[in-house]
Chain A
Amino acid sequence: MSRGDGLQVGADGRLRHLLTTEGLSAEMIRRILDTADQFVSVSERDVKKVPLLRGRSVFNVFFESSTRTRTTFEIAAKRLSADVINLNVGVSSTSKGETLLDTVYNLQAMDADMFVVRHAQSGAAHLIARHVKPGVAVINAGDGRHAHPTQGLLDMYTIRHYKKDFSALTVAIVGDVLHSRVARSQIHALKTLGVPEVRVVGPATLVPAAVERMGVRVFHDMLEGIRGCDVVIMLRLQNERMNGALLPSAGEFFKCYGLTPEKLARAKPDAIVMHPGPMNRGVEIDSAVADGRQSVIMPQVTFGIAVRMAVMSMLGSPHEG
């Protein structure tokens, strides 16, 4: 009785929306990453603009505030020559009682071509994608604990950049997997791209039920979990999780799961360290690691622009993708 099959990829194989990495084919992911390759060079030019989305309107609609993610989408859209409108809906319409879909319909009436949406509820982007006019594209910029597909894809870009081949990698995702939409998007993409071993590492309070059904191995011991890894992805620990029933303290979390040079030594010597940002130094990651030679956290940010440009160009120009 599953509905919405084909919501994000049309019968013609074209990307219509980007809602989740789940169900994207390896070929589609590679096509997005290959497209991003071209945009990395655009970002290195003096004139960092291409006219692919000229005359098109991209609405950044953030029901949950996030300056950083919104900015990366804004930069990506502007480099594609789109008109960008930023809306922090969290503090305007919904507080007046307007429903999510009413907000979207209103913006659609202002001739939006593309929505970039962040919302605290899992599935919000699916709901919007199901109700926008044909031809209007939705990019999920994070919905609840569910998905953050552009982050997942930029992480795949980063891994491909440094490791070339996915087929022999061991990747560990460490920390608050329970609440992480980033982890879910990474897991789907890594499995689809053929990574043979994906591990999630964290205390039982932060590992969701039946997560092994997503094809991952669960480790509660950090040293075991990152042993022999090619890629170590640290997740952000939200402040509100730090002192309560899930964890006794940020300090104890760091002691058990914070990535220090000593722990990183268990991974392969050429392992890369990733983090979706923003980092909590001294909570999930030691500064010596965050700023160390194995860290690729800053390149992730740079690649993020190119990957978002790739996704927007594929969604926004009818003959691309």
Chain B
Amino acid sequence: MKVEIRGARVVDPASGRDEKASVWIDDGRIAAVGAAPQGFRADETIDAAGLVACPGLVDLSARLREPGFEYKATLESEMAAAAAGGVTTLACPPDTDPPLDEPGLVEMLTRRASGVHGTRVHPLGALTTGLKGERLAEMVELAEAGCLGFFQGSAALPDNATLLQAMRYAVTFGFTVWLRPQDASLAAGGVAHEGEVATRLGLPPIPVIAETVATRTIIELMKATGARVHLARLSAGATLELVHRAKARGLPLTCDVGVHHLHLCDRDIGEFDALANLAPPLRDPSDRERLRRAVADGTIDAICSDHTPVDDDAKLVPFGEAEPGATGLELLLPLTLQWGRECGLALGPTLAAVTSRPAAILGVKAGSLAPGAPADICLFDPARAWVVKPQELASQGKNTPFMGLELTGRAVRTLVSGRTVHAAR
């Protein structure tokens, strides 16, 4: 099958290309961008005038809710959401029920996902059995089953002794350890950023030091072990200095931020809006500003959706009892575009944060339109304004603080291996 995508503005962050050109696809791979390869006769031509063609988005965190939480979402609904959001590769955290701590579960999930013939799904394995922070999970077995890294997900970090051993063990086999830096004792019972809003609303606080203390500890353990670490979901400006210094020292450290944290802050809790209950919590406006700049300057490597579909019942409770998280796969592109516009970034560097940069963290061949790369492509209309409504979202999770608001930019067509997995009306 040979396909030509004609008339699009081709933005390939990895190569720096940003020009109107044709994309030529042959047998599921990029054959060329620009001039047609010799003798190329397209079986199908996609007219993409007015659209941007970029590598399919790579999302470092999307909860598909299987196994165990099928009442919140299913693999089918969330993979449809991924395709509708232009996401062609995603990593899913191991905080399912049961957690992804044994190879059989991982194989089952990847087999189910590949049966859907859509977005590529890469599970992250549990770092510890049951995510309990006590015994190491069988990392080698899990890696053979397809896990690209090992993570505690939203569960608490292990104690320092266990974390030290987990890092040593991961180093042995060259695995990346993913950690959401939050000191469990400092965050205990907390549901909102420690500051003016939590004080006024009487919400138990999660202080910034819960993140900085954990980050400092992780960096010390990295120095002691040589482990490669990915810090997931940074929320506080103060953490960025620590990350910046660790990177400057040459430690193998990467990090990401959830896209909501680039746009929202604790003020958006308003009068106890449970949709703004996220983990980590939305912090001060000054933290948001620093996070926004840190993605632009490369201190933060990638933006992810941190997609967490939550059923209505789990949000229709008092703020502190609400399940944290927001649906995000279909908002990742427009919210990333908005961040880029507001920071004055060109489209290439903007999209790098959701394509080439996260692909490098996962170590997968994705996020690029280089010849020979899989033809995973997102065609989006950068000017299309749309209002976030429940019926507009393919995800089963309708939980978003952006409900009812207008966003700009939307995936029109999504291809995985050259095959269309989503086409908008």
Interface residues of A (CB under 8 A from B): 1-5, 7, 22, 99-101, 119, 121-124, 126-127, 131, 143-147, 181, 184, 208-211, 213-214
Whether B198 lies near A209 (C-beta < 8 A) is yes
Whether A121 lies near B321 (C-beta < 8 A) is yes
- Chain A CB within 8 A of B49 CB: no
Query: Which residues of chain B in 49-70 are interfacial with respect to chain A, using CB atoms and an 8 Å cutoff?
Result: none
Residue in contact with B270 in the complex, picked from A2, A124, A131, A145, CB distance below 8 Å: A2
Whether A122 lies near B318 (C-beta < 8 A) is yes
Residues of B contacting A7 in the complex (Cβ-Cβ under 8 angstroms): 271
Cβ of A200 to closest chain B Cβ, rounded Å: 11
Nearest B residue to A209 via CB reads B194
Write 14 A-B pairs (CB below 8 A) sorted by A numbering.
Answer: A1-B268, A3-B270, A4-B273, A101-B316, A122-B272, A123-B272, A127-B318, A145-B203, A146-B203, A147-B202, A181-B202, A209-B199, A210-B199, A211-B199
- Chain A CB within 8 A of B313 CB: yes
Residues of B contacting A131 in the complex (Cβ-Cβ under 8 angstroms): 316
Whether B199 lies near A208 (C-beta < 8 A) is yes
Nearest B residue to A129 via CB reads B271
Give the size of the chain B interface in residues (CB under 8 angstroms): 29
Whether B196 lies near A210 (C-beta < 8 A) is yes
| Cα A145 to Cα B194 with chains together (Å) | 14
- Chain A CB within 8 A of B24 CB: no
Residues of A contacting B194 in the complex (Cβ-Cβ under 8 angstroms): 209-210
Residues of A contacting B198 in the complex (Cβ-Cβ under 8 angstroms): 208-209
Residue in contact with A119 in the complex, picked from B199, B205, B318, CB distance below 8 Å: B318
| Given A1-B264, A2-B267, A209 and B318 contact (CB-CB distance below 8 Å) | no
Whether A122 lies near B195 (C-beta < 8 A) is no
- Chain A CB within 8 A of B425 CB: no
Residues of A contacting B276 in the complex (Cβ-Cβ under 8 angstroms): 1
| Cα A92 to Cα B144 with chains together (Å) | 51
Query: Which residues of chain B in 251-273 are interfacial with respect to chain A, using CB atoms and an 8 Å cutoff?
Result: 264, 267-268, 270-273
Residues of A contacting B205 in the complex (Cβ-Cβ under 8 angstroms): 208-209
| Given A121-B319, A122-B319, A145 and B202 contact (CB-CB distance below 8 Å) | yes
- Chain A CB within 8 A of B401 CB: yes
A/B pair count, beta carbons within 8 Å:
95
- Chain A CB within 8 A of B418 CB: no
- Chain A CB within 8 A of B200 CB: yes
Q: Mark B366-408, 1 if CB is under 8 A from A, else 0.
A: 0000000000000000000000000000000000010001000
Which of A131, A143, A146 neighbours the largest number of chain B CB atoms within 10 Å of its CB? A146
Q: Mark B312-323, 1 if CB is under 8 A from A, else 0.
A: 010011111100
Q: Which 5 interchain pairs have the tightest Cβ spacing?
A: A145-B202, A123-B272, A146-B202, A2-B270, A121-B318
Q: Mark B153-196, 1 if CB is under 8 A from A, else 0.
A: 00000000000000000000000000000000000000000111
Query: Which residues of chain B in 294-325 are interfacial with respect to chain A, using CB atoms and an 8 Å cutoff?
Result: 313, 316-321
Residues of B contacting A126 in the complex (Cβ-Cβ under 8 angstroms): 271-272
Residues of B contacting A119 in the complex (Cβ-Cβ under 8 angstroms): 318
| Given A146-B202, A214-B199, A214-B200, A122 and B320 contact (CB-CB distance below 8 Å) | yes
Whether B200 lies near A22 (C-beta < 8 A) is yes
| Cα A216 to Cα B286 with chains together (Å) | 23
| Cα A143 to Cα B264 with chains together (Å) | 25
Which of B196, B198, B201, B202 neighbours the largest number of chain A CB atoms within 10 Å of its CB? B202
Which of A1, A121, A124, A131 neighbours the largest number of chain B CB atoms within 10 Å of its CB? A1
Cβ of A96 to closest chain B Cβ, rounded Å: 16
| Cα A100 to Cα B203 with chains together (Å) | 18
Whether A123 lies near B196 (C-beta < 8 A) is no
| Cα A3 to Cα B401 with chains together (Å) | 10
Which of A99, A121, A124, A143 neighbours the largest number of chain B CB atoms within 10 Å of its CB? A121
Residues of B contacting A122 in the complex (Cβ-Cβ under 8 angstroms): 201-203, 272, 318-320
Whether B201 lies near A146 (C-beta < 8 A) is yes
Cβ of B288 to closest chain A Cβ, rounded Å: 13
| Cα A144 to Cα B321 with chains together (Å) | 12
Which of A119, A122, A144 neighbours the largest number of chain B CB atoms within 10 Å of its CB? A122
Residues of A contacting B202 in the complex (Cβ-Cβ under 8 angstroms): 122, 143-147, 181, 184
Residue in contact with A4 in the complex, picked from B271, B313, B316, CB distance below 8 Å: B271
Which of B264, B276, B319 neighbours the largest number of chain A CB atoms within 10 Å of its CB? B319
Nearest A residue to B270 via CB reads A2
Residues of A contacting B149 in the complex (Cβ-Cβ under 8 angstroms): none
Nearest B residue to A20 via CB reads B271
Residues of A contacting B280 in the complex (Cβ-Cβ under 8 angstroms): none
Residues of B contacting A22 in the complex (Cβ-Cβ under 8 angstroms): 200
| Cα A47 to Cα B205 with chains together (Å) | 49
Whether B320 lies near A213 (C-beta < 8 A) is no
Whether A210 lies near B195 (C-beta < 8 A) is yes
Residues of B contacting A214 in the complex (Cβ-Cβ under 8 angstroms): 196, 199-200
- Chain A CB within 8 A of B348 CB: no
Whether A99 lies near B313 (C-beta < 8 A) is yes
| Cα A211 to Cα B199 with chains together (Å) | 6
| Cα A209 to Cα B197 with chains together (Å) | 10
| Cα A254 to Cα B195 with chains together (Å) | 28
Q: Mark B405-420, 1 if CB is under 8 A from A, else 0.
A: 1000000000000000
Nearest A residue to B263 via CB reads A1
| Cα A54 to Cα B198 with chains together (Å) | 40
- Chain A CB within 8 A of B93 CB: no
| Cα A1 to Cα B405 with chains together (Å) | 9
